[in-house]
Amino acid sequence: MFIQIDQPLWVGARFEARLGVQPPLVLQCVVRRVAPGQGMGVSIEVAESKGIARLEALVESLLRS
């Protein structure tokens, strides 16, 4: 996933992100690539067992929009 942000973190940085869906979907993220002034590419892991199915459903719904 690519996150647009003015001051990206460094490659290898780890952080937790919460997607604003109900209930929130918690993702564990690791920065894999940095584009200075643009953002960062991250790999993600879903923190909860049912989260993978929820994330897949969210992505599919975004693709249909």
Q: Kindly give the confidence (pLDDT) of every residue in the chain, 65 residues in length, as a single tens digit, with 9 standing for 90 and above.
A: 999 999 999 999 999 999 999 999 999 999 999 999 899 999 999 877 788 889 999 999 999 98
Domain span including residue 41: 2-64
- Position 51 scores a pLDDT of 87
CA 21 to chain centre: 13
Would the pTM of this model clear 0.85, i.e. be above it?
Answer: no
- Position 26 scores a pLDDT of 92
Buried/exposed 10-46: b ≥16 CB within 10 Å, e otherwise: eeeeeeeeeeeeeeebebebebeebeeeebbebeeeb
- Position 41 scores a pLDDT of 98
Count of structural domains within the chain: 1
Which residues lie closer than 8 Å to 30 by C-beta, 6 or more apart? 12, 13, 14, 42, 43
- Position 35 scores a pLDDT of 95
